[in-house]
Structure 1
Amino acid sequence: MRVKCVICDSINELDDDLPLAKKLRNRPIHTYMCTECHGRISVNTESRLATGNFRFFRTSSPIDEEF
């Protein structure tokens, strides 16, 4: 299965039997992100989280206070 990264537009090949390929095929709302972009975003998120000014808004407020 050919997939395209939503950030850098690189085209990669996924095996058809991988769970990610099945998820992308069955649920078109899910998007693919290459490993380089995923790593870059995770490093940037961890650095913003380390500053103390970053909050996760998808969780409830008592969990946010523990951070």
Structure 2
Amino acid sequence: MRVKCVLCDKIEKIEDQSPLAKKLRNRPIHTYMCQPCHSRIKVRTEERKISGNFVTYRDSSQEETW
């Protein structure tokens, strides 16, 4: 199966029977992100968490359980 990264538009090939391919076929709302983009976002998010510029927004129903 050919997939395209939503951030860098790089086209990659993944196994047709892999769990990721099945998820992308059966749930069109899910998108594919290549490993370099995924790693870059992970590193930058952790940097923001450490610096204090990261805010997690919760809806009011979740705040009641906290």
Q: Under a length normalisation based on structure 2, what TM-score does the superposition of the two structures give?
A: 0.85
Name the residue aligned to 1:43.
Answer: 43
Following superposition, which runs of at least 4 residues in structure 1 exceed 2 angstroms of deviation? 58-62
Matched residue pairs, number?
Answer: 62
Is the aligned partner of 1:57 residue 2:47? Answer: no
Distance in structure 2 (CA, Å) of the matches to 1:47 and 1:33 = 20
CA RMSD of aligned residues (A): 1.4
Q: How does 1:10-49 map to 2 (within 5 A)?
A: 10-49=10-49
Structure 2 portions without partners, runs of 5+? none
Distance 1:51 1:8, change over 3 A: same
Deviation at 1:53, TM superposition (A): 2.5
Determine what percentage of the aligned residue pairs are the same residue: 61
Report the AA paired with residue 18 of structure 2.
Answer: L
Structure 1 portions without partners, runs of 5+? 63-67
